[in-house]
Amino acid sequence: SRYYREVLPGEIVKISRHDVQTLDVVRRPEGDPSAFCIFEYVYFARPDSIFEGQMVYSVRRRCGQQLAIEAPVEADLVSTVPESATPAALGYAQKCGLPYVEVLCKNRYVGRTFIQPNMRLRQLGVAKKFGVLSDNFKGKRVVIIDDSIVRGNTISPIIKLLRESGAKEVHIRVASPPIRFPCYMGINIPTKEELIANRPEFHDLANYIGADSVVYLSVEGLVSSVQESIKARQDNNPKTHKSFTGKPGHCIACLTGDYPVELEW
């Protein structure tokens, strides 16, 4: 039987037809923790991916549970925009004791919205992209869990759609903190000016996107959701990842502006 695992940070691996050997693990200078991109967990990775010994789906569900602790709201049901934030929405619903209900379904016959040539067409595209399951939420207070709001363009027409279809209230909860800074490590994050978190509208974001309320997960909440089971595993079995020395580390530069390496420009 073959066993696949991640190549650890700094690990040099030799693969031959006979076996896989670890030749060495290059330590980070001064024993600094590694700086694995935290947004892999939030957004980029497939939910069935396993990083640092944990499944991305489980981390996203924990983020939703943590968001429920930080930002509960009087509501009737929890839902999401299909389907990347579903694990977080299920975690939020479970923690709040509210039912998870589908309010939108994906229309499989529409192309990608982000390649439309202008904003108006993009917003129309969003409306066409989803069918509304209005029987599920008419006259009810809805919490929509999103995984991230970057520019604020996509969520606005969705809220409008839900209200026009009978939602009594629409509360937005975001299962990650606001992105405020550019990524210099290879992720194509929009410019500082395009990020909604840096714009004046952010101070009254609920009004700007047409929601009754908007709350993001805290940076501490995200980090604890990601690191909780890594730390537990290290405590229970210090030998599990003997090459992971020191505490687990994640790059949160796009959230805090604190980069894991010095920038040379």
pLDDT tens readout for residues 124-161: 666 678 899 999 999 999 999 999 999 998 899 999 99
pLDDT tens readout for residues 80-134: 999 899 999 999 999 999 999 999 998 877 555 444 456 665 556 666 788 999 9
pLDDT tens readout for residues 174-210: 999 999 999 998 888 888 999 999 999 999 999 999 9
Tell me the average pLDDT across 163-177.
98
Q: Which residues, including other chains, have CB under 8 Å from residue 150's CB and lie 6 or more apart?
A: 179, 189, 190, 195, 196
Q: Which residues, including other chains, have CB under 8 Å from residue 74's CB and lie 6 or more apart?
A: 141
Instruction: Please state which CATH number belongs to domain 39-222.
Output: 3.40.50.2020
Q: Indicate the pTM of the whole model.
A: 0.87
